[in-house]
Structure 1
Amino acid sequence: MENNENEVACHSNDDTSCRKSHHPERVKKDLTNRLNRIEGQIRGIKGMIDKDTYCDDVITQLSATQSALNSVAKILLEGHLKGCVVDRLSEGDEAVLDELVVTIQKLMKK
């Protein structure tokens, strides 16, 4: 994964509900394409269940879908670290580290 390819710059305000990420268009397009494929995988899995497909085959597709979701999360996490976290630390906002720990804990529950 190239650093510039998945660069995400975030904008932070004092009000955390107003914080937004500003993804470069190429990153948004990549993430959208990945999520569209995942959406298709989910529809396919629903169809497999409706057709009483063998459980092991459904589980295999679930595993592939989870892997695809993890890839999206990795891209977002990398951009968050290189953009949001670095920016907020440079502004002296060390609370971002506690937020990051919580975010990583959420990802590791999977």
Structure 2
Amino acid sequence: MCEGTADHRKQSIESSSYLERVFREVIPAMGESVTIYGWSLSDQDQHIVEQITRNPPQRVAISVRGGSQAFAQQAEEIMHRAGVDQVDFYDSESLGCWNNPTEALQED
């Protein structure tokens, strides 16, 4: 579901009971704080933003790769329009992130 038009993405969601349940039930009930990792927030993903708008979290943390200021500004505007009060950013390549465990975690 990482590629394709908005219609293709919606069709993928509708053809999978798992994705459809996440889209219709989980996203609108995410809670107070959400972390977004590896999502471009592109126009093709507007349907997901619309679901977030139904019950926006208070805080969203968004990964930024390579320090893209333009992406950060765009993402912050999108999240504020969706009703999110606080938008924070973190470097997706920093230690401790999803695919960059800290040394302490690697030793365990």
How high is the TM-score relative to the length of structure 1?
A: 0.28
Q: Which has the higher strand share?
A: 2
By relative contact order (CA 8 Å, sep 6+), the higher-ranking structure is: 1
Q: Based on CA coordinates, which of the two structures has the bigger radius of gyration?
A: 1
Q: Which has the higher helix share?
A: 1
TM-score (norm 2): 0.28
